[in-house]
Structure 1
């Protein structure tokens, strides 16, 4: 395991798994180091003390096997293999590998004692080597210190590089996770926007169709001309609903060219047409528009249009026979205020639709996304008042 300090806390990175080639060249290097350290002593042992030869070989093989667990128990394995070099020259390769592996952890409280043990074991081993002289330590001693220094320094460099790669890998994974979260959030926002758009478009048309269809069902005193006119209104609104549904569904297409609506989205300049259309369907509307709708920003005007449209839709669904007043006031710098009020009906019409509540929820989200606020209240005079304030920059 590799560690790195970040912001006062320790981040731990698991070492990457070693490939088959990595195991191979490490094994070859260990065997080469052991052979170089043991070759002269092995000849002497075979000729003069064969029991030492076999013991040296057995301890070296055991150290090589023990080095396999150097990543799981780095300190213990490094200590055992380096102590084994006191009487086993063939353990030099495994001892070098375990010391190097320990140094990659970059923990001085582990590196310093094991390095001192390795130095002491190396000096004892050199002193007990066949044919060694006391004067030889003057040369081999500094050489041993230099070799151990190179092993530790190289191991710390490799450990530092592993920590750097681990940090970069963690950052890349974090960036991918954040990107996936942003994509999911964008998809959710887009679905919510499309659902809100479909509600704004279809609820207005379907409520008009439902109201007039209900009139045809329950009114028995209509003349042929009145029935024909009502049927024309139903036909026109049904056709318009299909057209607007096709425009909204175009947002779901994957091709960039098909994703844009075929007609410009409504804005404040379309409020007059929306109110006239509502009046032709039988609603009693008293509009008061005291602003220059052509100067309202597109986003603000589109939101104001949806506020009035949703209010008229709710009146048509739940309070068909009540009068509606629409007040649009404001100025640049002060904001745009839209107030729609109607008297609550006594009783419920026979063709009333169930209230879902999703329209006002979606409308509130739309207004808040535009930087405004939406309020609704019922006055003591039994008036339902829907008011919205929208930003209008100076």
Structure 2
């Protein structure tokens, strides 16, 4: 379909279009002027007929400026003049060529056929002294065949250029969409990482703060140590939040955060940090000779982190069992289990209070509110495991709540 170029031409001519139109107008005018001079020197043509033919030729050349806007209309308007006028021949050739270039064959074909039929009366009214009747018809038919072939070639080339241009534009749009999708996926990954980190840190801070409020009579050095831990954790949480906001607000040129990513070896430190907060954790983790490839270690760390965070929120006094097993070729299995707790949320702080005060606790504090949960941790965890090609199971299992994940570990 070549309707789009015509619409573009109606909208606005480019510099190239103006140059082409000027050259075509000048060429048609020169040919028309030469044919007019031939008429004035032909004694068989009366002067009034030559004058009328010259006026028709001049008007036809001026009408060529409308060929881009109304190619088929201009060609049809010149059909009657082609039956008797010699001077209008240049404008007719340009109009026929234009309609073949800008209009499909179902429109250009009938227009060319009408102009071809005008050669019959023209050959009768103005026979060529050097050619016979059939010879004149043959020359006219060959001329129109050349115009149609040239127009079809120009049309095909124009369609090819438009197709290549559309492909380039489509490729640019697709590249922009791919870039946007990649940027969105990266931002989602960063947000997922920050959810894991902040949820873990803030839940620990809440437990420490609740423990201090629950046991204001604890020794000063223990309160000081807990307060220092809260301050350091809050500072780190703010740094994490500031970093992720900067990345999410940045454009495509923003670099990926340069924070050191956790590895499988950092799981022991994570467990120790939670034990210091008062959690009772049993860790079963063999020593592997090296760090797993890719992001396997980071994913395992985040899984354990989310499992401990959920256990701290929903079953604060229940012991937690963390087991990592497997190896290269058989995959890595991560299991986090804790007993289902039916106690009140106030008990969430008691273990921290005992840890801070090193004595049995009594009374109530702000810990009654418990630790809020967003409900999105397991959803993000399922997405992380799915992207890694693993499997995730979670739910009650034998009186416990079990989080079981298997991650592929290439041999």
The interval holding the TM-score normalised by the smaller chain is: 0.7 to 0.9
Q: CA deviation at 1:111?
A: 4.9
* Contact map agreement 1:197 1:248 (CA 8 A) in 2: no
Task: Identify the match of residue 381 of structure 2 among 348, 363, 371.
Answer: 363
Does the Cα contact within 8 Å between 2:25 and 2:64 map onto a contact in 1?
A: no
Provide the rounded CA distance (Å) in 1 between the counterparts of 2:214 and 2:327: 46
Residue 372 of structure 1 corresponds to which residue in structure 2?
Answer: 390
Higher relative contact order structure (alpha carbons within 8 Å, sequence separation ≥ 6) = 2
* Aligned residue pair count: 381
5+ residue gaps, structure 1, are 3-11
- TM-superposed CA distance for 1:144, in Å, is 2.9
Partner of 2:356: none
How many angstroms does 1:31 deviate by?
A: 1.8
Is 1:182 matched with 2:182? no
What is the CA–CA distance in structure 1 between the aligned matches of 2:139 and 2:294, rounded to whole Å? 81
Give structure 2 stretches of 5+ with no counterpart: 347-367
Q: Which residue of 1 aligns with 2:213?
A: 217
Change (3 A) 1:352 1:313: same
* Cα pair 2:262 2:298 within 8 Å, conserved: yes
Alignment partner, residue 371 of structure 2: 353
Aligned to 1:309: 305
Q: Corresponding residue for 2:29?
A: 31
Find the aligned partners of 2:134 and 2:374 in 1 and give their Cα distance.
94
Displacement of 1:393 in angstroms is 1.2
Is 1:330 aligned with 2:322?
no
1:189 CA drift (Å): 0.8
TM-score by length of 1: 0.83
1:388 matches 2:405: yes
What is aligned with 1:294?
Answer: 290
Q: Cα offset for 1:178?
A: 0.3
SS of the equivalent of 1:355 reads coil
- 1:89 and 1:340 map into 2 onto residues whose CA distance is 97
Correspondence for 1:165 among 161, 183, 200: 161
Offset at residue 258 of structure 1 (A): 7.0
From the superposition, tell whether residues 266 and 170 of structure 1 become closer, same or farther in structure 2 (CA, over 3 Å).
Answer: same
* TM-superposed deviation, 1:53: 4.2
Q: Which residue of 2 aligns with 1:205?
A: 201
Instruction: Indicate whether 1:78 and 2:75 are aligned.
Output: yes
- For residues 280-332 of structure 1, give each alpha carbon's deviation from its aligned partner in whole angstroms, at most 9, with x where no partner exists: 11111112224627353341111000011112122333432222111212232
**Structure 1 residue 99, shift from structure 2 partner:** 0.8
RMSD of Structure 2 on Structure 1 (CA)? 3.3
1:94 aligns with 2:91: yes
Q: Which region of structure 1 is more displaced relative to structure 2, 251-260 or 88-97?
A: 251-260
**Which shows bigger deviation, 196-205 or 302-311?**
196-205
Deviates more, 1:323-332 or 1:171-180: 323-332
For 1:116-131, list aligned pairs within 5 A: 116-129=113-126
Tell me if structure 2 keeps the 8 A contact 1:56–1:88. Answer: yes
Which of 247, 263, 266 is equivalent to 2:262?
266
**Distance 1:135-1:171 versus aligned 2 partners, 3 A rule:** closer
Residue 85 of structure 1 aligns to a residue whose secondary structure is helix
Contact 2:325 2:334 in 1 (8 A): yes
Change (3 A) 1:34 1:362: same
Match of residue 227 from structure 2: 231
- Does the C-alpha gap of structure 1 residues 38 and 330 become closer, same or farther in structure 2, counting only changes over 3 Å? same
Contact 1:96 1:151 in 2 (8 A): yes
Aligned mates of 1:171, 1:256 — CA distance in 2: 26
- Map of 2:5 onto structure 1: 14
Task: Give the conservation status (yes or no) of the 8 Å contact 2:21–2:65.
Answer: no
In 2, distance between residues paired with 1:246 and 1:275?
26
Tell me, in whole angstroms, the C-alpha distance in 1 between the residues paired with 2:156 and 2:237: 66
